[in-house]
């Protein structure tokens, strides 16, 4: 930690999400700064470091080509891992061993066992592990969680997630071409649905069944579209449609209960927009979701607090294990044609 008490963040991965969202979210906090970036290609790290994303007069001070160099930097307190998915596991273990706090991108890993290993390693090292599931930071989803918990719709019976989008051309790389990097729609999009459903319903998925397809973008061995159904412990059923290939559907999230329905539009996005409607016997009205904040800013703020020993990250490592377990069950169901039990996410 610097002498003024600011947390130094090191970026592991010169990624699109670091560049477009996270640098500004970290530097926008009064108590944290990005102090270093690492890429397997030094020029990529240097390029990101030199870009004036937050403040033209204040570029990221150091660029590294090796993880051990970044982890040896005493100014780095927190590591943000946003490399391709197959690298998250080893990089998290190394960061924990170096005593750094870790905010890791979703999916945490490519297997539940590895994700559990990440949680255990961070726990053993006494460092915080967070999963960067941004959607649970949205005022819309937080409001729906509260309303469900308060009984506004009675007993939840069913949920529907509409998360079929068009993958921007700049991101049509490893996600649609490299199974070994953890590409495919389930590990990219379904994993977010899984976390948001768990969060809003405050329930755990136990079973998954799904059909997947290749509809124009994905290479052999990967799916770019999926429709699936989850069964939750309470008996609630959830239906999801996720895709990289649908340009005009818009997104949505609905929960239908014995006493009412919550229907949210344009809420499965990176921005804090969208609206929520509550329909009950006495009519339909728009829900006031309160103050809307950038989802990544809220994620970083909660992580900074957790790193200082105050509370938990918005999504913990355990949350990341559980969302991964659901996404993997959906993926396995697509590939085998069989209903899958969701692996228990606990140690």
85 or 261, CB closer to ligand NDP?
A: 85
CB of 278 to ligand NDP, least distance (A): 27
Contact call for residues 279 and 261 (beta carbons, < 8 A): yes
Peptide bond into 107 cis (omega under 30): yes
Q: Of 137 and 236, which has the nearer Cβ to ligand NDP?
A: 137
Pairing type for strands 283-286 and 275-280 reads antiparallel
Longest dimension (CA), the chain: 62
3-state SS assignment for residue 240: strand
Angle at 80 between CA 74 and CA 81, to 5 degrees: 120
Query: 264: which strand partners?
Result: 253, 276
CB of 94 to ligand NDP, least distance (A): 14
The Cα–Cα gap between 265 and 107 comes to: 25
With H, G, I as helix, E, B as strand and everything else as coil, classify residue 228: strand
Q: What angle do CA 23, 27, 29 make, to 5 degrees?
A: 130
User: Alpha-carbon distance 127 to 135, whole Å?
Assistant: 24
Q: Which is nearer to ligand NDP, 13 or 59 (CB)?
A: 13
| Distance separating alpha carbons of residues 297 and 302, to the nearest angstrom | 9
Residue 89 near residue 114, CB atoms below 8 Å: yes
Least separation in angstroms between residue 18's CB and ligand NDP is 7
For ligand NDP, which is the closer residue by CB, 130 or 260?
Answer: 130
Nearer to ligand NDP, 167 or 278 (CB): 167
Q: How far is the CB of 29 from ligand NDP (least distance, A)?
A: 17
| Token pair belonging to 335 | 């590939």
Shortest reach from residue 125's CB to ligand NDP, in Å: 22
Provide the token pair at 227. Answer: 């429709």
The residue among 134 and 298 lying less far from ligand NDP, judged by its C-beta, is 134
Residue ranges with strand state E in the chain: 7-12, 32-38, 62-64, 78-81, 101-104, 129-131, 156-164, 205-213, 225-232, 237-243, 252-257, 260-265, 275-280, 283-286, 340-341
**Residues at the interface with ligand NDP (CB under 6 A):** 13-17, 39-41, 44, 82-85, 105-106, 132, 134, 171, 173, 188, 270
Name the residue nearer to ligand NDP (CB basis): 2 or 41. Answer: 41
Query: 132 or 143: whose CB is closer to ligand NDP?
Result: 132
Q: How far is the CB of 11 from ligand NDP (least distance, A)?
A: 8
CB of 231 to ligand NDP, least distance (A): 26
Query: Smallest distance, Å, CB 333 to ligand NDP?
Result: 21
């Amino acid at each position: 930690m610097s002498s003024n008490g600011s947390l130094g963040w090191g970026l592991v991965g010169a990624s699109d999400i670091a560049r477009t969202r996270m640098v500004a979210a970290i530097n926008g906090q009064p108590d944290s700064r990005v102090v270093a970036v690492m890429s397997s290609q030094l020029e990529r790290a240097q390029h990101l470091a030199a870009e004036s994303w937050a403040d033209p007069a204040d570029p990221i001070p150091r660029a590294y080509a090796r993880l051990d160099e970044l982890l040896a930097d005493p100014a780095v307190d927190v590591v943000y891992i946003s490399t391709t998915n197959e690298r998250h596991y080893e990089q998290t273990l190394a960061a924990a061993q170096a005593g750094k706090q870790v905010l890791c991108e979703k999916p945490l890993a490519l297997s539940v066992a590895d994700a559990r290993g990440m949680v255990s390693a961070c726990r053993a090292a006494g460092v915080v592990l967070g999963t960067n599931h941004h959607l649970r930071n949205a005022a819309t989803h937080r409001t729906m969680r509260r309303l469900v918990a308060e009984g506004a719709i009675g007993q939840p019976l069913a949920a529907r997630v509409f998360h079929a989008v068009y993958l921007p051309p700049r991101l049509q790389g490893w996600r649609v071409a490299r199974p070994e990097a953890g590409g495919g729609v389930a590990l990219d999009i379904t994993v977010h649905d899984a976390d948001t459903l768990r969060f809003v319903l405050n329930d755990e998925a136990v079973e998954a069944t799904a059909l997947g397809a290749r509809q124009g973008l994905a290479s052999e061995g990967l799916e770019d579209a999926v429709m699936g159904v989850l069964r939750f412990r309470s008996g609630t059923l959830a239906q999801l449609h996720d895709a990289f290939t649908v340009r005009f559907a818009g997104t949505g999230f609905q929960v239908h209960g014995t006493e009412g329905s919550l229907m949210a539009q344009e809420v499965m996005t990176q921005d804090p927009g969208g609206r929520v409607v509550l329909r009950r016997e006495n009519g339909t009205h728009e829900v006031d979701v309160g103050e809307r904040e950038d989802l990544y800013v809220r994620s970083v703020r909660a992580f900074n607090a957790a790193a200082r020993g105050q509370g938990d990250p918005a999504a913990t490592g355990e949350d990341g294990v559980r969302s991964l377990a659901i996404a993997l069950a959906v993926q396995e169901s697509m590939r085998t044609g069989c209903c899958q039990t969701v692996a228990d996410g606990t140690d």
